[in-house]
A and B are shown apart, each in its own frame.
Chain A
Amino acid sequence: MAEILVKNGFVVDPTNKIDGEKMDIAIKDGKIVKKVNERKAKIIDASGLTVMAGGVDIHSHIAGAEVNMGRLIRPEDHYKDAVRKTKLTRSGTGYSIPSTFVTGYRYSTMGYTTVMNGSFAPLKAKHVHEELNDIPLLDKGTYPLLGDWWFVLENLAKGDIEECARHVAWMMQSTKGYAIKVVNPGGLESWGFGHNVHSIDDQVPNFCITPREIVRGLIKVDKMLNLPHTIHLHTNNLGQPGNYKTTLDTMRAIEDLSTDGKPVAHITHIQFASFAGDDWGKFRSGADEISKYINAHNHITLDMGQVIFTDTTTMTADGPFEYTLYTLSGHKWVNSDVETEASGGIIPFTYKKNNAVNAIQWSIGLEIALLVKDPWKIFMTTDHPNGGPFMSYPRVLAWLMSKKAREATLKRCHKKAQKKSLLPSIDRELSLYELAIVTRAGTAKALGMPNKGHLGVGADGDVAIFNINPETTDIAKKYKAVRKAFKESVYTIKDGKIVAKDGEVVDNTTPGRTMWVDVKTKQPCIINEEMKRKFREYWSIEYENYPVSDHYVKVSDKLTVEASV
């Protein structure tokens, strides 16, 4: 494999505490190495440019049954964004939910090399993997929804955490998943009969368990199994006014589970979980309360779930939440319950500046990201496509690094939002170093990926080079230029190959790997005839046809972990 030497760039690598030093980065056999043979290597002259590790997205809905249903129901959304076939690349369609190939290309040309798919229902695991195979140029992983799975609810209600852990381990292997995803714990099961839970201590109908017990139980399971990532949590009451209290309750309920000062849960798209006010009329930001708590504690990481003013498609496993959205918007509504496991919903949605609630939502996401002092605790996402499509990341980065950019947008927002926003009182502007944390170093760390998000020797040969000269540009003032730079990387290198250059794919031969966790429990989950019968009772397919075989993973990247049970 070709060797590459990136010369003279300003390297921003927070994991290795490198902040804009002029350095060379050498890549060989798909990995970062100390040095390469300069005469043989392809030299990239990066002088005047910023060099970072490839971007790592911690939460983005790019594949699977729910995502594809979103694609399927929105021809009018694709119509305005058709993508032509070229000599190298496949055709497709974009806007809010791009087709699989286009997803790969667009992420790659923005300097991303790893994207984690936000959720999938285990019963439809094969589907998510079939789609991941068709997303080129990226390493991928995906999180199975386990918070309302009957085996989990029953074992936790019985208090049998170890048995629960063995089942989760089985599920992780069988669905080739990466982390435990919990969505509106207890709420999805309740939605089976059209109900919901409204606090972390509500009883889940028919199961004698509460959301608090589910979350605590699964955190313990996560630890027993030594999974690389914490549980990935979408809290109760998401998207409801006043829900910041539920979010605080949830965070408090798991404080004691962190023993070594390490995080035990990642709360995703925190913006949607930080609403204050008793109803939509009195809607306001709960960012202050949430960020204060986060600043004082170390057991939680967050991602933003930033809202963009655009036409997009919301989709989550939180069926009852999507129904609420439907009653608010009246748009086309998809609900998709999955037996014994999960639910799901989809609503097209347009976030508007002149809508007070939308504009306040926009403000909340940024407020939290700026008020949380430690960038290793909160990462940049839009919960693609829920807050807006991932193609808008550069806009979010601009708001984070420039007060001027925030002001420019805020002044066009609804008056009420302008009055209520905390943004005018926040002067913080993220540096390039901090931006690298919230887009790659921090996410890689939270995901437990030691070879990603940085440029140290041994890391994956994933590099992004941007047209930003930190010596000559004040990024806060020149935010428009920097925004443009993040939109189209000068180079994206994946596994030691130049895959994109100046916003165009130049090599489409890298399919990317699918990362999944193979958990070795001391005592495996016992699958006997009795168990198979139970399977048949719970699901409508046979046990033998449930697991995702190797056939479904084009390039498998298995991470084997030893569990303590």
Chain B
Amino acid sequence: MITLTPLRNFDVPVHASCINPDEFKSKTLKEIAELPVTEGNRNLTLSDLFKIEQDKTETPSITLNGDFKKVKRVGQGMKTGEIIINGNAGMHTGERMAGGKIVINGNADSWTGSEMKAGTIEIHGDAGDYLASPYRGSGTGVKGGYIIVDGSVGNEVGCYLKGGVIKIKGNAGIFLGYHMTDGAIYVEKQCSSRTGAAMTGGKIILAGTVTELMPSFTIDSIKPKVKVDATQSVAGPFYVFLGDLADHGTGKLFVSKTNNPQLAFYEKYL
């Protein structure tokens, strides 16, 4: 295991896509120390910014101790191994990840798990905007993998989701599951408006309250319970909505009946 600890507080962003188990795997400690990073526009090496230590433990492969909020792209594109971040994580953590695991014992900044294909990300604090959402202009969302957030998430989470599961134990912002085509998103507490806008497939499960529903969803049925994934199903009852009609979509939106009495008027269409 390699342990990295920042040598000081960073005031400008640090770009460190080399912090990646696949990169470290077959390298000596000296080689790791010389991996390139940037602090702002300055080209430096890993050891210029972090204290690097090695011990014999196998998992996790990398431990990051301290505040990594300004450190971008940790674990980008990783395929194997495990990273534990004991502190906050910066933007684009685990972007395009294709396997392995990242555990964040703190908050995650925006674009965490962006365009990931497989693997697991556990966030024990809150997550920012664009969790599991693609890069600008791209319609290629997350294809698979598993993301679990203990806290709340920001806006536009799970955009263009194509596969995989996102579980959020806290609240979610607007445009959750925007334009998703497949996969599942589960929110335990409150969810803001425009949920599932432009979605054409997949499912979103809202067990808590919802601020407002898109006008372009139509009620389909009431279900007693719903399956999130192979390991979990949630007891309802749930209103089941279909949408987004504006895009001729058939995505499913499950909304807790008990927590959302304001939606009772939809029942007359059943």
B-contacting residues of A (Cβ < 8 Å)?
Answer: 73-77, 79, 332
Contact = CB atoms under 8 A, between A and B. Distances in A.
Interface string B122-162: 00000000000011111010000000000000000000000
B181 to A, nearest CB: 12
15 contacts: A73-B137, A74-B137, A75-B135, A75-B136, A75-B138, A76-B134, A76-B135, A76-B136, A76-B137, A76-B138, A76-B140, A77-B137, A79-B135, A79-B138, A332-B137
A470 to B, nearest CB: 44
A275 B202 CA distance: 38
A58 B110 CA distance: 46
A71 to B, nearest CB: 11
A115 B128 CA distance: 47
Interface in B72-116: none
B38 to A, nearest CB: 13
Across the A-B interface, give the 4 residue pairs with the lowest CB-CB distance, nearest first. A76-B138, A75-B137, A76-B137, A75-B136
Interface in B52-81: none
Contacts of B137: 73-77, 332
Contacts of A74: 137
Nearest to A78: B137
Interface of B is mostly: loop
A304 B104 CA distance: 54
Contacts of A75: 135-138
Interface of B: 134-138, 140
A74 B139 CA distance: 11
Contacts of A73: 137
Nearest to A74: B137
A76 B134 CA distance: 9
Contacts of A77: 137
A302 B135 CA distance: 40
A75 B137 CA distance: 6
Contacts of A332: 137
Residue of B134, B135, B137 with highest tally of chain A CB at under 10 A: B137
Given A75-B136, A79-B135, 11 more contacts: A73-B137, A74-B137, A75-B135, A75-B137, A75-B138, A76-B134, A76-B137, A76-B138, A77-B137, A79-B138, A332-B137
Nearest to B134: A76
A75 B135 CA distance: 8
A1 to B, nearest CB: 38
A79 B115 CA distance: 13
A32 B138 CA distance: 48
A75 B140 CA distance: 13
B135 to A, nearest CB: 6
A73 B138 CA distance: 10
Nearest to A77: B137
A312 to B, nearest CB: 15
A79 B136 CA distance: 9
A73 B134 CA distance: 15
A385 to B, nearest CB: 16
A544 to B, nearest CB: 38
Contacts of B140: 76
Contacts of B138: 75-76, 79
A349 to B, nearest CB: 13
A74 B135 CA distance: 11
A79 B134 CA distance: 12
A296 B135 CA distance: 52
A151 B65 CA distance: 71
Nearest to A72: B137
A74 B137 CA distance: 6
A515 B134 CA distance: 43
Nearest to B140: A76
B144 to A, nearest CB: 19
Nearest to A331: B139
Residue of A74, A76, A332 with highest tally of chain B CB at under 10 A: A76
A172 B80 CA distance: 61
A146 B252 CA distance: 51
B177 to A, nearest CB: 19
A322 to B, nearest CB: 18
A75 B136 CA distance: 6
A434 B138 CA distance: 41
Contacts of B136: 75-76
Contacts of B135: 75-76, 79
Residue of B134, B135, B140 with highest tally of chain A CB at under 10 A: B135
Contacts of B134: 76
A87 to B, nearest CB: 15
B262 to A, nearest CB: 35
B248 to A, nearest CB: 11
A39 B137 CA distance: 57
A80 B134 CA distance: 14
B96 to A, nearest CB: 11
A364 to B, nearest CB: 29
B70 to A, nearest CB: 22
A53 B128 CA distance: 56
A332 B134 CA distance: 16
A110 B217 CA distance: 54
A553 to B, nearest CB: 33
A105 B140 CA distance: 30
A120 to B, nearest CB: 24
A79 B92 CA distance: 14
A387 B137 CA distance: 21
B14 to A, nearest CB: 19
A88 B137 CA distance: 31
A81 to B, nearest CB: 13
Contacts of A79: 135, 138
A205 B245 CA distance: 36
B229 to A, nearest CB: 29
A166 to B, nearest CB: 45
A162 to B, nearest CB: 49
A79 to B, nearest CB: 6
B208 to A, nearest CB: 34
Nearest to A76: B138
A346 to B, nearest CB: 13
Nearest to A79: B135
A186 B134 CA distance: 41
